[in-house]
Amino acid sequence: MSRFLNVLRNWLVMTSVIAMGYSLLGFRNHTFLYEKIYTGKPDLVNGLQARTFGIWMLLSSVVRGLCAIDIHNKTLYYITLWTFFIAMGHIVFELFVSGTGTLTIGTMAPLMVASISILGMLVGLWHLEAEPGSRQKKRN
């Protein structure tokens, strides 16, 4: 396996752990959502939204962790890539369409992580294709 794919796997583990932390926060207390992310309209944040956010983050965490374990699984790889596109799309929508978010560290951090992850995973696709005798090619 290429060095880049090993770095990408470690990055995915890190994003998985961070997502797990956000998931726990969503179940524990919803105040962090309106203090960090939905600062534009904090009165719209409630416990139900926080638990829904927590479930989404839990699912993202599991998918990213599984991709880190089996990075050669193309279907799982693309699903993981989509988790980052969806996360970035959500934050951009909240910032520029619905106005519930403002540009703070609480919204810029997920945007940066999603952007770096998308870029890294797109480069990782090239490395997976260039890898001689990859597991995916052996399955076909």
The pLDDT tens digits for 39-89 are 999 999 999 999 999 999 999 999 999 999 999 999 999 999 999 999 999
Residue 116 lies in a domain: yes
Using CA atoms, how far apart are residues 60 and 84, in angstroms rounded to an integer? 9
Per the confidence metrics, is the pTM higher than 0.85? Answer: yes
Residue 47 lies in a domain: yes
Domain that holds residue 77: 3-131
Domain count, the chain: 1
Confidence band of 133 (pLDDT split at 50, 70, 90): low
Number of C-alpha atoms within 13 angstroms, CB side, residue 55?
A: 5
Residue 26 lies in a domain: yes
Residue 58 lies in a domain: yes
Burial of 51 (0-12, 13-18, 19+ CB in 10 A): middle
Residue 66 lies in a domain: yes
